[in-house]
Structure 1
């Protein structure tokens, strides 16, 4: 599945991207689309087929599914 994660801080986004890269998970950092709110404005898109909780870090604000209809909220960690 394809996901897009938003973060509370820029450093959190960079940390997550590096973690994914070291774990062999392809990812790309990019500006957060305007329709998705974010505290820092930088997000990370990635593909992952296992349990998403295995790669969760505390800096993640929200994770969205990416599909042909756009973005759908998967999990909000801000609650």
Structure 2
């Protein structure tokens, strides 16, 4: 059995062993080129998605009931 200590110290940024295999299997299941596992919850994923797609100066329209993580992502992106 592989213990967490036998994993590379890079952890989630450059996984090896079972974690890498799990990412590959998840990507295949979802029909995606690659997957990322979030360890910071959904808010982390929403912020990452907004920051990856918005540039400083962009104008973003959010609904009134948008989650605070979307607003935070917009602020962090500089949009």
Q: TM-score range by the shorter chain?
A: under 0.3
TM-score of the aligned structures, taking structure 2 as reference length: 0.26
Report which of the two has the higher share of helix: 2
Larger RCO (CA within 8 A; separation ≥ 6): 1
Report which of the two has the higher share of strand: 1
TM-score of the aligned structures, taking structure 1 as reference length: 0.26
Query: Which is higher, the Rg of structure 1 or of structure 2?
Result: 2
